[in-house]
Structures are given as structure tokens and as C-alpha cells.
Amino acid sequence: MNTEATKRVREKATCRHCGKSLIGDAYQYGGHAHHPDKGGQVKTCHYGGFVCSVDCDYSTTLKLEGSMPGHNGQVALDFGMRESIRKKWVTP
């Protein structure tokens, strides 16, 4: 009996910035993912997608904002967005 073969093949969760493999199904399935090393539930980027660290969160958000119309060449996030990312990653 090969149970691997009977498992439904789903896209796996990965960090939206660095591509790190996470434990869980891909973001579009609507569930949660866990960090393979730290164990805790990974966070999600403001614009969607899993991010494995505060740096990846920041980089993903900046990249997405930079790709929006009128944001060409944006090199930093505004204060409000930086604060919201910082607060999200504060461990209680």
C-alpha cells in the first residue's frame, strides 16, 4: 500500500519572498502554514501570501507596492506600513 500515491496533490505553502518551503498548503487554499524550523504559524503579507520572516514580509510588501501604478522606483515603505509590519511580528 503506497499511501503517498493516494494523497491529493496540492501546491505546497512557500514564502512569497524567499521561496522557502513551509508546512501546509499554498496560500490560495485559505488555510494556515507553519514554519519548518521555528514551528509556529507563519504570517501573511499585507497583500496576501505567506511570509517566513519580518524581512521577507517587508521585502514582499515593498516589491508589490513598487509594482503598483505610480510607485515606480519606490525604495521604502511608508511609516504606517512599516509599523503595521513591525507590530505583526512582535511576539507576545
87 contact partners, CB below 8 Å, separation of at least 6: none
Question: Which residues of the shown chain bind Zn ion in the complex (CB under 5 A)?
Answer: 15, 17-18, 20, 52, 56
Mapped onto helix, strand or coil, the DSSP state of residue 51 is: strand
| Shortest distance (Å) from residue 70 CB to Zn ion | 27
Run of H or E residues at 68 = none
Q: Residue 2 or residue 50: which is nearer to Zn ion going by CB?
A: 50
Smallest distance from Zn ion to CB 60, Å:
8
Residue number with CB closer to Zn ion (44 or 70): 44
